[in-house]
Structure 1
Amino acid sequence: MSEQIPSDICTLYVCTTCRDAADPGEGPRAGARLHDALAAALADRPEARVRIEPVECLSVCKRPCTVAVSSPGRWTYVYGDLDPAVSAAVILDGIGLYAGTPDGIVPWRERPQEFRKGVVARIPPAPVLP
């Protein structure tokens, strides 16, 4: 039985296998560090309606670090080129803007700079089937 997620919750998928060019062969990859930073930042925002899901690959290896945000009835966005050391607050701020829209489309000029420069894809909401 799958878990029922409330429709006002945004899901943030974080690629934990993203590798930064400076990553050593051993130790946590940049994507895993981004996931940890996001989890820590989210703990400081108990009001945030965000659920973080680690994923093994978002297939955007040329644009690490990569995240995707989705929510029922809203467009899904994929963002890359995020810095694991400094992007957590920016990502959560951007998701707050996303959550404040009925369709997930935040006006271009209102998006954080990292989202404007790092957008990889925009995917339409899945249709509701009868």
Structure 2
Amino acid sequence: MSKHVLFVCQSCHHSSQERAENQLADGTLLLNQLNTLYAEQFPANELEIQPVGCLGTCDRPCAVAFSALHKPTFLFTNLPLTESTVALLQFGEVYLANKTGDISGKYFPQMLRSASIAKIPPVE
């Protein structure tokens, strides 16, 4: 099986106000939530959760991207911090199980249907 990666922007932040020096960005909090839930519920380690400095969607936080060789990349933005963790891992299961990665929106968890989504074709 090819490597599947969930990229998580750790610099995303919903508030337009400056964060206190010791306050974590929302993206870092999302990354921590994903890592914790993934370790508890998905022991097979089929999906690598990888932090990135910035995914360039600063006006639409929080942002993540699912990517794998020979599959389209799915970029999700406008993700609410507290409600999206479970839905993202559910989508990850669908993405892993689908050989081509060509996933119709009807198979997205309900919570992700309200996010901004980009489907980027695979590099062949």
Question: Quick check: TM above 0.5?
Answer: yes
Q: 1:90 aligns with which of 71, 87, 110?
A: 87
Q: Secondary structure at the match of 1:20?
A: coil
Please give the alpha-carbon distance, in whole angstroms, between the structure 1 residues aligned to 2:116 and 2:36.
24
2:118 is the counterpart of 1:121? yes
Letter in 2 for 1:35: L
Moved more, 110-119 or 99-108: 110-119
Unaligned runs of 5+ residues in structure 1 are 1-5
Paired residues of 2:83 and 2:111 also in contact (CA < 8 A): no
The answer for the alignment partner of 1:3 in structure 2 is: none
Tell me, yes or no, if the aligned pair for 1:77 and 1:119 is still in contact at 8 Å: no
| Runs of 4+ with >4 A deviation | none
Deviation, structure 1 residue 104: 1.1
TM-score, normalisation: structure 1? 0.85
Q: What residue is the counterpart of 1:60 in the other structure?
A: 57
Residues matched between the structures, number: 121
After the TM superposition, which residues 99-118 of structure 1 pair with which residues of structure 2 at under 5 Å, given as runs? 99-118=96-115
2:104 maps to a residue whose letter is: P
Give the superposition deviation at 1:70.
Answer: 0.3
Identity of aligned residues (%): 29
Q: Deviations over 1:106-127 (max 9, x none)?
A: 2221111233221331111112
2:84–2:112 Cα contact (<8 Å) kept: no
Q: Distance in 1 between matches of 2:73 and 2:45?
A: 18
Aligned-residue Cα RMSD (Å) equals 1.7
Deviation at 1:82, TM superposition (A): 1.3
CA deviations over 1:9-48 (Å, ceiling 9, x no partner): 3100000000111776121010000000000011011035
2:75 counterpart of 1:78 = yes
